[in-house]
Structures are given as structure tokens and as C-alpha cells.
């Protein structure tokens, strides 16, 4: 019994890591906008939710989505702090305070226990406000190539595999809301920062994160739909609709950027 459980857990972690590697290989060869649009797709959270849906009922998924909404609002705060600090500070001095803000925001939201509609309003307010604040930093470019080091993809895959394993294992003990919070940990973006900023500089790395702000708003809206739809429709239709919203939102942003380009 123990051996089969461990095999299943390792299999889940390997699947999650494989998805992230595939998407990362595409993102690393793109500009800041394309990299941001790919990175904000649910490439780390999606597999975690699939595994949660295999192990739990629709009500659990609805609760997890509520936790992920809180985590997403905190991610918006993280993005804003990082982009502003990365203009003048080194990697750890930029990312460290941003992660601290994320942690404070998550625990504050958990303590306040806001309703779904309050969280939805916070999602709109935080991401629209953050997007307006980071607009001056969207177009920064590196003066040197952004070819990642050899360990970039394995490091990111390892982090996401650990996230999938932790969230799956902990879900039976921490409940739906905290499972959703864990699933929304900013693993992909943090690893992007740690890899990119030392190589291409703060402003150029911040441009990737700045472009991610409005893209992540689409994810926030998608996960809110998952919360509303999980119980009446079932886990799998709700997750499918959420994924569709993320993809359509990011494709729409890509189309708008091309129309605006000279």
C-alpha cells in the first residue's frame, strides 16, 4: 500500500515537472510579453488541481479555488513590489521583500476570511491598479542575451514537482482552502526572477513580471469561475472552463499587443 502511494506521488510530481519543462522551453526563447503570457498559464497550478480533483470531491475543489483566489491577490502584490524594487536593487533585495509582502497578504486574507465577492473585487482592484503602476516598465530590454544557464529548467521543474507533491500530500490534512493557497505559491515567477535577473538585469527581468500582471488577472477571473462552477457542474467541467478562460484571455492579450505594435 505504501509503495503504491509513493509511486503515485512520484508520478504526479514527474507529470507536473514535465509540463513545466515543456512550457519553459518555449518561454525562454521568447520576448518578455510571450514569456509572461506562457508563464501565467496554469502550468504549475493546473497539474496540482488535476491531482486534487482525483483525490477529492467538487466541494473541496471549490474551497481550494477560494484559497487560490487569495493567493492570486497576494501574487499581484508580489509582482508590484518586485517590479518597482528591481529597477534599482539586486535580485535578493528585490525578490525577498516581494515574497514577504506575498506572505503577509496571504495570512491577512486568511485571517480576515473575506467572502467570494470581496475576493473578486480585490482581484480586480489589485491587478488593475498594479498594471497601471508598472506600465512604464513593460518594454525594458536586456543589452545582452538572455540565454538561461544549464540548470534553469531543471531547477524550475524540481520546484514545481516539490509543489505538486507538497500540495497533494498536505491536502488531506490542511483542507481545501489551504490546499488552494499552496497550489498558488509563486514558484514559476520566483524561479524566473532568480534565473533572469542575474543574467539580464533588474529592469529587463522586471519587464517580464510587469507583462505578467494583466495576464494574471485572467487567471484570477478563471479561478473564481472554478469556485462558482465546481459544485453545480462538477470538478472536471469547472477546471476545463477555467483553463479555457486562461488560454482565451492570454491569446486576446497577444492579439491586442500585435494590433498596438507599429
**What span, in angstroms and rounded, lies between the C-alpha atoms of 54 and 254?**
33
pLDDT tens track for 19-38: 455 545 555 566 666 766 77
Residue 3: its pLDDT value, please? Answer: 45
Q: Which of 254, 225, 32, 212 is nearest to 127 (CA)?
A: 212
**CA torsion, ordered 170, 171, 176, 182, to nearest 10 deg:** 50
**What span, in angstroms and rounded, lies between the C-alpha atoms of 183 and 42?**
10
Domain range annotation of the chain: 2-260
Over residues 2-7, mean pLDDT: 45
pTM confidence score: 0.80
pLDDT tens track for 126-158: 999 999 999 988 876 655 555 556 566 666 666
**What span, in angstroms and rounded, lies between the C-alpha atoms of 69 and 71?**
5
Provide the percentage of residues in the chain whose pLDDT is more than 90. Answer: 35
Q: Is the pLDDT of residue 60 over 80?
A: yes
What ranges in the chain are assigned the alpha helix state H?
2-27, 32-39, 45-55, 58-86, 91-112, 116-134, 152-183, 187-200, 202-233, 235-260
Banded model confidence at residue 85, pLDDT cuts 50, 70, 90: very high
pLDDT tens track for 170-221: 555 556 777 778 777 777 777 777 777 877 788 888 888 888 888 889 999 9
Cα of 38 vs its chain's centroid, Å = 10
pLDDT tens track for 225-242: 999 999 999 999 999 999
- How open is the CA angle 220-19-94, to the nearest 5 degrees? 55
Amino acid at each position: 500500500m505504501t509503495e503504491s502511494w509513493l509511486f503515485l506521488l512520484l508520478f504526479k510530481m514527474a507529470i507536473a515537472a514535465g509540463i513545466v519543462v515543456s512550457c519553459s522551453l518555449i518561454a525562454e526563447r521568447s520576448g518578455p510579453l510571450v514569456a509572461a503570457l506562457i508563464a501565467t498559464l496554469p502550468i504549475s497550478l493546473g497539474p496540482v488541481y488535476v491531482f486534487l480533483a482525483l483525490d477529492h470531491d467538487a466541494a473541496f475543489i471549490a474551497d481550494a479555488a477560494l484559497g487560490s483566489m487569495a493567493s492570486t491577490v497576494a501574487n499581484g502584490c508580489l509582482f508590484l513590489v518586485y517590479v518597482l524594487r528591481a529597477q534599482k536593487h539586486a535580485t535578493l533585495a528585490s525578490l525577498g521583500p516581494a515574497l514577504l509582502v506575498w506572505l503577509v497578504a496571504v495570512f491577512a486574507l486568511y485571517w480576515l476570511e473575506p467572502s467570494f465577492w470581496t475576493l473578486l473585487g480585490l482581484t480586480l482592484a489589485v491587478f488593475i491598479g498594479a498594471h497601471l503602476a508598472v506600465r512604464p516598465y513593460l518594454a525594458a530590454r536586456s543589452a545582452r542575451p538572455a540565454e538561461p544557464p544549464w540548470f534553469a529548467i531543471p531547477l524550475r521543474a524540481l520546484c514545481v514537482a516539490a509543489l505538486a507533491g507538497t500540495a497533494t500530500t498536505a491536502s488531506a490534512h490542511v483542507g481545501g482552502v489551504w490546499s488552494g493557497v499552496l497550489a498558488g505559491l509563486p514558484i514559476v515567477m520566483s524561479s524566473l526572477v532568480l534565473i533572469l535577473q542575474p543574467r539580464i538585469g533588474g529592469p529587463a527581468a522586471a519587464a517580464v513580471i510587469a507583462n505578467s500582471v494583466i495576464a494574471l488577472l485572467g487567471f484570477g477571473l478563471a479561478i473564481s469561475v472554478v469556485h462558482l462552477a465546481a459544485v453545480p457542474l462538477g470538478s472536471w467541467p469547472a477546471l476545463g472552463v477555467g483553463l479555457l478562460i486562461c488560454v482565451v484571455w492570454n491569446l486576446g492579450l497577444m492579439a491586442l499587443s500585435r494590433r498596438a505594435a507599429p
